[in-house]
Structure 1
Amino acid sequence: MQTNQTLSLPNMGCGTWAWGNQLLWGYNESMDDQLQQVFNLCVNNGVTLFDTGDSYGTGRLNGRSELLLGRFAREYDGINKNNICIATKLAAYPWRWTRKSIISACNASAKRLGKNVDLVQMHWSTANYAPWQEVGLLDGLADLYEQGLVKGVGLSNYGTKRLLWVHKRFQERGIPIKTLQVQYSLLSTYPVTELGLKSVCDDLGIKLIAYSPLALGLLTGKFSENGNFPKGVRGILFRQILPGIQGILGTLQSIANSRNKTMSQVAINWCICKGTIPIPGAKNLEQAQQNLGTLGWFLNDGEVAELDNAAAKSEKKMVQNIFQTK
């Protein structure tokens, strides 16, 4: 007998938020108070969906994202408190391959959060390298729902074929897939334009969540070919991609100017207009305010078409997640 409550995701008009590994880049404990302020600002403005993962944070920061998010949710005392929805993704680590292992992982996440997970998601599919491993993990995900330990289940980095395979397995047990999370932005249209995921999700009643809607910051307009780049692999990637995306950036800038918005706000709003739930990250109040400026308005059809055209003509695309299946 299923004892679940119905999971109600915030609609796109209310906004959504990501709370992921970017929270921990350069993290130090003095940031906690500022991050609490970011959380409070988001919820106070109707942003109530928070996405994290049990793999966000390594070493001494292991599980830190979930710990912080759970604490912030408990300490928040304002409007929309009862609407807070915490989603976490469980990693398909090599040592996780039984249904019990995924149940234990979710219980560990719940302990860090200080409450049951609202939406539990499989972080990635093992279909590309160990398809046998996935059977037990998915069975465990389904068990969590049947046992009433979560309100909904979702997937991440699944393509159309693999999604339909999982949907069939879950349908046999009467378990709905609530969400599918994929890398999606003006620089990463592959899941929709080539895999056709949006139409399939619509047919199956699945909400499509767009992670990395700003393509790691490439669509913010903060970086130029001759300017400063981030350090490490991200900087190398930016040097390779920036020269080939000037058409997209120019179109974003033009629309942003006419709308009195920022390029980031236009890029995120484009994701919303495409019927997805974008989850941009924020680790300070300035970024949070920027993202809030995405809400309460919509690009018109002509502007969306301009951006679609620029994306289609772009010489460069964002590198796809290696775990993304077809």
Structure 2
Amino acid sequence: MEKRRLGRTDIFVSKICLGTMTFGEQNTEAEGHAQLDMALDRGVNFIDTAELYPIPPKAETQGRTERYIGNWMKARGNRDKVVLATKVVGRTANEWFRGGRPSKLVRADIIDAIDKSLQKLQTDHVDLYQIHFPDRLVPWGSSPTRVGKWPAKRADDETPVAETLAVFDELVKAGKIRHLGLSNESAWGVMKFVAEAEKGVGPRVVTVQNAYNLVNRTFEVNLAEVCDREDVGLLAYSPLAQGYLTGKYEDGALPEGSRKQLFDRLQRYETPGAAEAYKAYNALAREFGMEPALFANAFVTHRPFVASNIIGATSIPQLEVALGSADVTWTEEMQKAVDAIHQERGNPCP
């Protein structure tokens, strides 16, 4: 599988990354290991997880995903074959991460997070350590399509970026992490981290992990230029819009065992205009002779600014389709057809 460089580093990752947020909730440990085995066998060398996982976040399940991955790497003896990424939570009122208190991006909390992650993953370092979401009070995803209530309210105890970055500098020097990445971040946030690093405060950010799919191309508005000029790679998550771009929810369908049926947490992808957009893209996929899930993943996998497409699956057949997107020949005709719908439908699910 084609490998792409992460930022300005010497790390090359497969253009598809295996996301693992279902491990420990929708997937058992054995099922997670089977997915990991298949992905590695098909040329995937990049695995993404987080201290928060599995989804939905709960005190009783938090940390299972990292533990499952750690057990897999130990059993297979393949840590050296894997580019491993995990995340520290940003500002959150949920108290189970830090043993009974809220968490922020301050030294004590970041140190606590990385040490627990390394223990669960059974490794002495992670290759990419990402800030899951900002310490700042910003809309989820940090790329809204309208101003809304901006200027946003600022927390009285907001942690300065330079203070957070200095902690990551410690982690690099201690050998606990190799590189820093951001997630659910805005153009201003990425640029601020880059600017502070260029002052010599800490490591330079190499990636940003944001949602990117056919119904959310907000990355292209401002972040694309920032990332291009500053050599920050996009790790695209939610390529299937939490399942809506598979066609399985069309016309109100609610498949047994689907994420919506189990958890009903898909509101980001249930906005006005979204249903019409899904129908248009899913119909277009079929016109090109592809099932919608393959088409939607191929769109993301083959975008030139995507360092890696973070796929997710709860079954081996789903994983087969997602991995198959690497072999699709994405044509100019396909791109023009997608862009025509985008011109009409915009970004209904930022």
8 A contact 2:227–2:233 mirrored in 1 = yes
Alignment of 1:58-137 (within 5 A): 58-76=58-76, 82-92=80-90, 93=92, 94-115=102-123, 116-128=125-137, 129-130=154-155, 132-135=158-161, 136-137=163-164
Q: Which has the higher contact order (CA 8 A, sep 6+)?
A: 1
The aligned counterpart of 2:211 is: 183
Note the alpha carbon deviations across 1:90-135, whole angstroms, 9 max, x for none.
0024433432321221111011100022210011112224372253
8 A contact 1:248–1:311 mirrored in 2 = no
Q: 1:159 to 1:304 in 2, by over 3 A?
A: same
Q: Structure 1 counterpart of 2:23, which letter? A: L
Q: 1:308 to 1:106 in 2, by over 3 A?
A: same
8 A contact 1:101–1:140 mirrored in 2 = no
Q: Does structure 1 residue 172 correspond to structure 2 residue 172? A: no
Note the alpha carbon deviations across 1:257-283, whole angstroms, 9 max, x for none.
53x432111111111222212212123
Alignment of 1:286-297 (within 5 A): 286-297=317-328
Q: Answer 1 or 2: which has greater helix percent.
A: 1
The aligned counterpart of 1:8 is: 11
Note the alpha carbon deviations across 1:145-177, whole angstroms, 9 max, x for none.
233221111001111112111111122226221
Q: 1:103 to 1:171 in 2, by over 3 A?
A: farther
Q: TM-score, normalised by structure 1?
A: 0.83
8 A contact 2:241–2:269 mirrored in 1 = no
Identity value in percent: 21
Greater Cα shift, 223-232 or 177-186: 223-232
Cα displacement (A) at 1:248: 4.6
The aligned counterpart of 2:6 is: none
Q: 2:313 aligns with which of 276, 282, 286?
A: 282
The aligned counterpart of 1:250 is: 280
Specify the SS of the correspondent of 1:290.
helix
8 A contact 2:14–2:46 mirrored in 1 = no
Q: 2:45 aligns with which of 12, 23, 48?
A: 48
What are structure 1's unaligned runs of at least 5 residues? 1-5, 321-326
8 A contact 1:248–1:314 mirrored in 2 = no
8 A contact 1:245–1:315 mirrored in 2 = no
Q: 1:99 to 1:175 in 2, by over 3 A?
A: same
Q: Structure 2 counterpart of 1:105, which letter? A: A
Note the alpha carbon deviations across 1:35-93, whole angstroms, 9 max, x for none.
21111000011112111111114322221010011111222368xx6331110110024
Q: 2:290 aligns with which of 261, 273, 278?
A: 261
Alignment: residue pair count: 302
8 A contact 1:252–1:263 mirrored in 2 = yes
What are structure 2's unaligned runs of at least 5 residues? 1-8, 93-101, 138-153
Between the aligned partners of 1:154 and 1:62, the Cα distance in structure 2 is 21
Between the aligned partners of 1:120 and 1:235, the Cα distance in structure 2 is 26
Q: Does structure 1 residue 38 correspond to structure 2 residue 40? A: no
The aligned counterpart of 2:179 is: 152
Q: CA RMSD in A?
A: 2.5
